[in-house]
């Protein structure tokens, strides 16, 4: 497959070689501007950087309407994203390597020269951004830990030396609005300052039919302020920034698609084996999701001349608090089936809120309690996750981070044959992570009476029954250096090397003593008597953790990250490059008690044929789990309380060209990456509530190519586009050996874009009308190592049969975005539309094989609006 796909790249290379020898012509109108990037921590022409870099200039950002990370990611081949769970959640996939929840990110994020340490730092409003650089391939030798897939470098607007004042506003469908205000100017002879204020809000697209509200599902509001000061003092140039922002939004707006193919066949009930791409989404959760995030960011950067060299120092401090509370995910497992609240809400919702198949309340009701098991389809109660009753309880999750970092580096001048850079880096990071499950005691009332905190005692309105609560501390030390040498004119050989050491510690905060027990007796009946499964497992072994607490743990992860590259400027029009480098993502700890949960509830799931029960009704019911023998292959065996570091090794060959008098740019690359212990996020739901863990895919191979072009035909018309192909495969996965050979999760088979822009001058008025179209296309995507395999699950024991997950993937999709701008010298007005064809596709499919299906997330349909802006000078 890869061989056929690379034919396109080969044709492009042939065209470039043929054109490279053409004699230079006079400068033509409408030539492409020269782009300067800082990918290697110094200013360079993009053609001189031996790596694949997709750069968006200030003009590109304004033209494409880039306001959120999604906007530039979808215009970058072989880069994709998933944004579903909560405000800070964004899974970025670069050349097949995914960010992954609950672990470190897979790319370095640098804003105005400051390396960000929070995995949630990217998914914010891109206020005041003037340039974006997306580097692909491992950048660990330059940026250190977690840059194993690439780097995203952003530059924001600097304060001006003359007064500026800009205002902007916008409206859109779904009751969306936004407002911006920017002020900048001199603050004395050698100082400049700026202040930016912004707000964004939307009611969202989806409606909750139970609660009767259209602003309580995917609603979103972000408000922020950014202050910046640049000045000269003590022989140096200083840049000080501070930002505060707050986000309020919905969270966990998922549905479920089940994969009980045996039940679907026996009962002639197709909804029990649904294609999620054909799912009709519905939102009937009785709890309004609540997600709040508060951010404070501060940094100071200084540059001093040390002889002919430059000494740079960066100090950064960040503080983020983030929590969400929403409906429970385990309604189908009857967690609270015999509680008074469930028995009150069940008949009320049975009467007023129908459920689409395969979900149902059951054919009969015994008193007030749901019928848990019946030999006939749709007579057993089978409630959906995030359902209308209180029978699934609620979930609360919290992820706070406070961090401080310091970097010092010394950089040689740019105009030397030998250029070098050396530095040191330190970071101290503290994270507080809570995942909890509790009792929803609101009954049939639909009131929203919840304490938003990790542990709620029995005296509270929503007592906690399952709790993972840990504080994670990381201390990072690194030393790094770069050498770039011009072997001869136009040929550069470069070596970069970095050593990272990260010590990680975890302290458990789950209550002990009397509070260590589950607080809803009926919940304890279905799971275990303690609030954390580690207490239960330890008590069974004669331990006393329920009294003394779960012990603290620590571990250090270290890695050398070299990168060797060669750049050859064949001519003024064409350059070739090759590189080989390492990337590294630190290992870490899952929530304490994760392994105990998996051992207790999934230890008895083994591959094999279903146990059949003769019903006497003319068919056999697959009732019971396959037997586990000593040589059985179990569903999974690698859920632990910690996970290993991830290391990537990548080789790349590529070219960059600016042809036809700099009116046509064509760039391409082919790459091969080997990954050891790739980190993968798993979500589990069951009789225990919910569990989030990171595991390791032992060996993964990724290969692919990219090609992009930008043709500026004249001053008024341009065409652009790109295509990326990724072939990723799981070579070895000891935790689920039956998945070896499957496609890499979260890696679209292909991604690309194509578009055009037309500028029409309106006579002598000085006005211009600018029309732009962007088409985006994304290929088939799997989201889990388990794909077209048949495996048992917990519902298998209750007659649902086994599950096959061959349908649990995302189909290819295409989007069309459009913009029409009327602009003058100081103002502009833009009518815009995103997904104007109202394409229906899935954002994410979180497969949970032990649950028996997947948690699926819908996409946003057409959005459109009008923006205006005016600049005073």
Coil, strand or helix: which one is 492? strand
How far apart, in whole angstroms, are the C-alpha atoms of residue 36 and residue 733? Answer: 42
In tens, the pLDDT along 808-849 reads 999 999 999 999 999 999 999 999 999 999 999 999 999 999
Q: Which pTM does this prediction carry?
A: 0.93
Q: At what angle do helices 594-602 and 533-540 cross, to 10 degrees?
A: 70
Q: Which long-range contacts (CB under 8 A, 24 or more apart) does 212-221 make?
A: 213/288, 215/175, 216/250, 216/288, 216/289, 217/250, 217/253, 217/283, 217/289, 218/249, 218/250, 218/253, 218/860, 219/248, 219/249, 219/250, 220/87, 220/247, 220/248, 220/249, 220/250, 221/247, 221/248, 221/249
Q: How far apart are the first and last CA of the chain?
A: 56
Query: Residue 525 has what pLDDT?
Result: 56
Confidence of residue 490 (pLDDT cuts 50, 70, 90): very high
Please, which pLDDT band fits residue 176 given cuts at 50, 70 and 90? very high
Q: What pLDDT does residue 11 have? A: 44
Say whether the peptide bond before residue 358 is cis (omega within 30 degrees of 0). Answer: yes
Q: For residue 446, is pLDDT > 80?
A: yes
Non-local CB neighbours of 265 within 8 Å, separated by 6+ positions: 273
Rounding to the nearest 10 degrees, give the CA dihedral for residues 205, 206, 209, 214: -40
Task: Let me know: does 465 contact 523? Beta carbons within 8 Å.
Answer: yes
Structural domains in the chain plus CATH codes: 2-510+550-872 (2.40.170.20)
Distance CA(488)–CA(485), nearest Å, equals 9
**What sign does the CA torsion over 153, 155, 156, 159 have?**
positive
With 70 as the cut, is the pLDDT of residue 27 above it? Answer: no
pLDDT at 120: 84
Q: How confident is the model at residue 14 (pLDDT cuts 50, 70, 90)?
A: very low
Q: What is the pLDDT of residue 364?
A: 46
Confidence label for 528 from pLDDT (cuts 50, 70 and 90): low
pLDDT of residue 233: 92
DSSP 340: H
CA distance 346 to 360: 11
Instruction: Tell which residue, 46, 57, 28, 60, has the closest CA to residue 663.
Output: 28
**Contact between residue 159 and residue 189 where contact means Cβ atoms under 8 Å apart:** no
CB atoms within 10 A of CB 424: 13
Let me know: does 65 contact 71? Beta carbons within 8 Å. yes
The 3-state DSSP composition of the chain as helix, strand, coil percent (nearest 5) reads 10, 50, 40
Structure tokens at 352: 């007023």
More confidently predicted of 374 and 512 = 512
- Dihedral sign of CA atoms 277, 323, 691, 346 in order: negative
Predicted confidence (pLDDT) per residue in 689-713, tens digit: 888 999 999 999 999 999 999 999 9
Q: How confident is the model at residue 20 (pLDDT cuts 50, 70, 90)?
A: very low
The one-character DSSP state at 592 is T
- Dist CA 835 CA 824 (whole Å): 27
Q: Tell me: pLDDT of 507 over 50.
A: yes
Displacement of CA 621 from its chain's centroid (Å): 41
Q: Within 10 Å of residue 27's Cβ, how many Cβ atoms?
A: 9
**410 or 100, which is more confident:** 410
By three-state DSSP, how is residue 13 classified? helix
* pLDDT computed for residue 366 by the predictor: 45
Residue 264 CA: distances (Å) to CA of 180, 364, 450: 53, 21, 38
Which pLDDT does position 324 carry in this prediction? 96
Strands 150-156 and 107-111: parallel
What's the rounded Cα separation, in Å, for the pair 572 and 657?
9
Reported as a single tens digit per residue, the pLDDT across 304-336 is 999 999 999 999 999 999 999 999 988 877 788
Q: In this structure, are residues 673 and 649 in contact, taking their beta carbons and an 8 Å threshold?
A: yes
Which helix H or strand E contains 612, and what residues bound it? Answer: strand 612-614
Mean pLDDT, the chain, whole residue set = 91
Give DSSP secondary structure letters for 229-263: EEEEETTEEEEEEEEEEEEEE-----EEEEB-HHH
Which tens digit of pLDDT belongs to each residue from 253-299?
A: 999 999 998 888 887 888 899 999 999 999 999 999 999 999 999 99
C-beta separation of 674 from 614 below 8 A? no
Q: Kindly write down the DSSP assignment for every residue of 289-330, as one continuous string.
A: -EEEEEEEEEEEEEEEEETTEEEEEEEEEEEEEEEEEEE-S-
**CA 142 – CA 425 distance, rounded (Å):** 11
Q: What is the dihedral of CA 381, 384, 385, 390, to 10 degrees?
A: -50
Confidence at residue 236, expressed as pLDDT on a 0 to 100 scale: 93
* In the predicted structure, residue 4 carries a pLDDT above the cut 80: no
526: pLDDT strictly greater than 60: no
CB 619 within 8 A of CB 269: no
């Amino acid at each position: 497959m890869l061989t056929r796909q690379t034919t396109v790249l080969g044709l492009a290379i042939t065209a470039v070689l043929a054109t490279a020898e053409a004699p230079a012509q006079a400068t033509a109108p409408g030539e492409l501007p020269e782009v300067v990037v800082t990918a290697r921590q110094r200013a360079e022409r993009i053609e001189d950087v031996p790596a694949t870099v997709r750069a968006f200039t200030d003009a590109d950002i304004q033209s494409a309407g880039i306001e959120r990370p999604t906007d530039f990611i979808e215009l970058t081949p072989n880069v994709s994203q998933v944004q579903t769970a909560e405000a800070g959640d964004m899974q970025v996939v670069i050349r097949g390597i995914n960010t992954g929840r609950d672990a470190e990110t897979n790319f370095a994020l640098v804003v105005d020269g400051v390396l960000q340490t929070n995995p949630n730092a990217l998914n914010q409003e891109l206020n005041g951004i003037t340039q974006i650089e997306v580097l692909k391939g491992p950048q660990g030798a330059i940026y250190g830990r977690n840059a194993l897939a690439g780097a995203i470098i952003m530059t924001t607007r600097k304060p001006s030396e003359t007064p500026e004042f800009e205002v902007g506003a916008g409206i859109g469908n779904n009751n969306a609005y936004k407002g911006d205000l920017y002020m900048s100017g001199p603050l004395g002879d050698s100082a400049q300052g700026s202040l930016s204020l912004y707000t964004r809000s939307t009611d969202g697209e989806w409606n909750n039919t139970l609660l009767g509200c259209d602003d309580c599902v995917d609603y979103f509001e972000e408000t922020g302020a950014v202050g910046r000061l640049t000045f000269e003092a003590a022989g140096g140039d200083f840049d000080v920034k501070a930002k505060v922002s707050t986000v309020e939004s919905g969270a966990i707006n998922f549905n479920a698609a089940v994969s009980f193919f045996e039940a679907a066949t026996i009962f002639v009930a197709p909804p029990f084996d649904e294609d999620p791409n054909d799912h009709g989404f519905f939102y009937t959760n009785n709890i309004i999701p609540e997600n709040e995030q508060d951010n404070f960011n501060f940094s100071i950067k200084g540059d001093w001349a040390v002889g002919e060299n430059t000494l740079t120092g960066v100090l950064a401090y960040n503080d983020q608090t983030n929590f969400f509370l929403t409906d429970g995910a385990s309604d189908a497992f009857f967690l609270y089936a015999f509680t008074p609240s469930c028995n009150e809400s069940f008949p009320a919702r049975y009467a007023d809120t129908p459920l689409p198949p395969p979900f149902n309340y059951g054919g009969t009701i015994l008193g007030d309690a749901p019928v848990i098991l019946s030999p006939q389809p749709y007579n057993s109660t089978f409630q959906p996750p995030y359902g209308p009753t209180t029978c699934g309880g609620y979930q609360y999750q919290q992820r706070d981070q406070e961090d401080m970092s310091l970097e010092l580096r010394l950089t040689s001048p740019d105009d030397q044959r030998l250029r070098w850079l050396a530095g040191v880096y330190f970071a101290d990071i503290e994270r507080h992570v809570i995942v909890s499950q509790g009792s929803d005691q609101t009954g049939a009332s639909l009131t929203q009476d919840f304490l938003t905190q990790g542990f709620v005692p029995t005296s509270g309105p929503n007592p906690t029954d399952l709790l993972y609560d840990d504080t994670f501390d990381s201390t990072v030390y690194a030393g790094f250096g770069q050498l770039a040498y011009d072997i001869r004119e136009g040929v550069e050989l470069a070596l970069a090397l970095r050593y990272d050491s990260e010590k990680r510690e975890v302290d458990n905060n789950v209550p002990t003593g009397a509070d260590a027990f589950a607080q809803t007796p009926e919940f304890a009946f279905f799971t275990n008597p303690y609030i954390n499964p580690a207490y239960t497992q330890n008590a069974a072994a004669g331990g006393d953790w329920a009294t003394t607490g779960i012990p603290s743990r620590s571990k250090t992860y270290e890695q050398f990250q070299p990168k060797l590259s060669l750049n050859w400027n064949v001519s003024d029009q064409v350059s070739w490059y090759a590189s080989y480098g390492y990337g590294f993502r630190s290992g870490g700890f899952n929530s304490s008690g994760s392994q105990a949960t998996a051992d207790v509830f999934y230890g008895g799931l083994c591959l094999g044929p279903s146990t059949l029960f003769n019903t006497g009704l003319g068919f056999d019911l697959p009732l019971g789990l396959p037997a586990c023998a000593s040589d059985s292959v179990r569903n999974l065996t690698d859920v632990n309380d910690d996970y290993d570091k991830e290391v990537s090794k990548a080789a790349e060959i590529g070219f960059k060209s600016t042809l036809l008098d700099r009116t046509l740019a064509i760039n391409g690359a082919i790459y091969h990456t080997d990954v050891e212990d790739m980190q993968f996020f798993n979500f589990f739901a069951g009789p225990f509530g919910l569990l989030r863990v990171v595991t390791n895919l032992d060996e993964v191979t990724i290969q692919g190519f990219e090609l992009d072009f930008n043709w500026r035909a004249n001053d008024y018309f341009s065409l652009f586009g790109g295509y990326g192909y990724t072939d990723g495969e799981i070579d070895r996965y000891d935790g689920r050996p039956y998945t070896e050979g499957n496609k890499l999760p979260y890696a679209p088979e292909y991604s690309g874009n194509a578009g055009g822009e037309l500028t029409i001058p309106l006579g002598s008025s000085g006005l211009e009308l600018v029309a732009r179209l962007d088409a985006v296309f994304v290929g088939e995507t799997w989201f889990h190592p388990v794909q077209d395999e048949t495996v048992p699950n917990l519902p298998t024991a209750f007659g649902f049969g086994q599950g096959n997950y061959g349908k649990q993937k995302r189909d290819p999709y295409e989007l069309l975005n459009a913009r029409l701008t009327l602009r003058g010298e100081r103002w502009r007005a833009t009518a815009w539309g995103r997904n104007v064809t109202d394409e229906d596709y899935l954002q994410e499919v979180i497969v949970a094989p032990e649950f028996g299906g997947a948690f699926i997330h819908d996409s946003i349909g057409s959005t459109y609006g009008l923006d205006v802006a005016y600049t005073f000078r």
